[in-house]
Homo-oligomer: A and B are copies of this chain.
Amino acid sequence: MTDITDKEAQHLHRLILFSDAVFAIAITLLAIEIHPPEHWHGVADLFGQMQHKLMAYAVSFAVVGIYWISHRRTYSRLRKANGVLDILNLVMLGLLALLPLATELLWESGSAAAALVYVGLVTAIGLAHAVAWGYAALLGDLAEPMPTVEKIYVLLRVALLPGLMCGLTFLSIITRTPWGWLGIALVLGALFLVNRLLVGSGKLSAAQIAED
């Protein structure tokens, strides 16, 4: 790590601070369009009327929270940043900033089409995040030293998995069917097997194992 200049480390630092601010604003703005109903009688009626909004808020808050955790985990593995990563990260943040809008769409309409748009946006954020990590780790040589298999593992495990899990959880809630939960179980099972294999073959570093 002796070949990183102060300026490159500073670049990464500022990129992370900026991203954190956008995450924090997006997560807090989720609640700002929610207003109390005009007429309500008692706490139970209030929650009854606001049920859809509060549930949509909780789901979106969880989505942004999960992506923040994923962002923190992937970017903590970078050593520096460059202009391409700036742009890829901005694309991800630009999609993330649309989540309050998609959340409003969801609670107002609640239709299958609205759910489709919502899940599509969540997936798009996940893909944009995965592209940024993929570039940083595989093409841009911005990550700390680690075997290529681990870079791909992080791509799947840390960057793509959250979006997949969000989509499947959401699918289960919306359709009130167990298919989403089943999908989650399958994905987690498969990932556990791959994890065992990687550890067994010694290709996953201790740091990665500890973090799991």
Per-position 1/0 for A83-95, Cβ under 8 A of B:
1001100100110
C-alpha spacing A188/B190, complex, angstroms: 49
Instruction: Name the contact of A105 in the complex, choosing from B36, B97, B104 (C-beta under 8 A).
Output: B36
C-alpha spacing A92/B59, complex, angstroms: 15
B28 contacts A22, C-beta separation under 8 Å: yes
- Which range contains the number of A residues in contact with the other chain? 35 or more
Counting CB contacts under 8 A, is A116 at the interface?
yes
A31 contacts B116, C-beta separation under 8 Å: no
- Considering only CB atoms, which chain B residue lies closest to A45 in the complex? B113
Q: Which A96-125 residues sit within 8 Å CB-CB of chain B?
A: 97-98, 100-101, 104-105, 108-109, 113, 116-117
Per-position 1/0 for A18-36, Cβ under 8 A of B:
1011111111111110111
- Contacts known (A24-B25, A76-B10); A43 close to B98, Cβ less than 8 A: no
A100 contacts B11, C-beta separation under 8 Å: no
Counting CB contacts under 8 A, is A68 at the interface?
yes
B90 contacts A65, C-beta separation under 8 Å: yes
Contacts of A42 in B (CB 8 A): 113
New A-B contacts (9) at CB < 8 Å, excluding given A18-B24, A34-B101, A40-B109: A14-B76, A18-B20, A30-B97, A57-B98, A65-B87, A65-B90, A65-B94, A69-B83, A69-B87
| Between-chain CB contacts (< 8 Å), 27 pairs | A11-B72, A14-B72, A14-B76, A17-B20, A18-B68, A21-B21, A22-B24, A22-B27, A24-B25, A25-B25, A25-B28, A29-B32, A31-B100, A32-B32, A34-B101, A36-B101, A36-B104, A36-B105, A36-B109, A43-B113, A43-B116, A46-B113, A57-B98, A65-B90, A69-B90, A72-B86, A83-B211
